[in-house]
């Protein structure tokens, strides 16, 4: 996959030897699927994990200057992606998931986190719960033992 080729080159040419790399991990494009005419997935690297959005053929790609933010709507909510460009890959957008990969002991563990991130992104957000009825905290109710539920004969009853 072109994403992996581009980021393997970054790993070898720009990141090699840096102390914050997790040697248990390698570059992997995980869970890519169609989204708004483009391709969305998770990029696992030894230095970070990001959602990655790359141009597809089914939608107009926004021509944004590098580092510009664009908000995308998902079933779980909205996220800001940052425009970027790599010579091998071309334009893409990324949204950080993990800035440090120290917490991952293996590639499999990182892959599971990437899959969970994709699954979560496409789950419909739960509707907000309606506000519960206000409990009267009057002195009278307190003295009657109704300070927990606002009614009944005693605490919590």
pLDDT at 139: 54
pLDDT at 125: 73
Distances (CA, A) of 79 to 45, 100, 137: 21, 20, 40
pLDDT at 110: 99
Structurally, at CATH architecture level, domain 2-121 sits in 2-Layer Sandwich (3.30)
Question: Tens digits of per-residue pLDDT, 41-61?
Answer: 999 999 999 999 999 998 899
> Residue ranges of the domains in the chain?
2-121
Question: Tens digits of per-residue pLDDT, 118-157?
Answer: 999 999 877 766 655 555 555 555 455 554 444 444 444 4
pLDDT at 58: 86
Return the HEC string of the chain.
Answer: CHHHHHHHHHHHHHHCCCCCCCCCCCCEEEEEEEECCEEEEEEECCCCEEEEEECCCCCCCCCCCCCCEEEEEECCEEEEEEEEEECCCEEEEEEEEECCCCCCCCHHHHHHHHHHHHHHHCCCCCCCCCCCCCCCCCHHHHHCCCCCCCCCCCCCC
pLDDT at 148: 47
Residues 6 or more apart whose Cβ sits within 8 Å of residue 87 = none
Question: Average pLDDT of 88-116?
Answer: 98
Question: Tens digits of per-residue pLDDT, 60-79?
Answer: 999 999 999 999 999 999 99
pLDDT at 156: 46
Q: For the whole model, what pTM was predicted?
A: 0.79
Asked which of 85-89, 115-119, 132-136 is least confident by mean pLDDT, the reply is 132-136
């Amino acid at each position: 996959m072109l994403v992996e080729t581009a980021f393997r080159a970054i790993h070898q040419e720009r990141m090699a030897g840096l102390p914050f790399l997790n040697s248990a991990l390698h570059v992997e494009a995980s869970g890519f699927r169609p989204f708004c005419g483009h391709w969305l997935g998770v990029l696992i690297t030894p230095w970070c994990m990001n959602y990655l959005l790359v141009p597809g053929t089914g939608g107009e790609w926004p021509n944004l200057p590098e580092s510009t933010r664009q908000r995308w709507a998902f079933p779980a909510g909205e996220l800001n992606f940052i425009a970027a460009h790599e010579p091998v890959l071309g334009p893409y957008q990324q949204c950080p998931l993990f800035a440090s990969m120290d917490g991952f002991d293996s590639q499999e563990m990182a892959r599971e986190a990437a899959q969970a991130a994709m699954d979560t992104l496409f789950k419909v957000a739960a509707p907000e719960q309606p506000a519960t009825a206000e409990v009267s905290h009057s002195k009278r109710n307190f003295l009657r033992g109704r300070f927990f539920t606002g009614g009944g004969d005693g605490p919590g009853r």
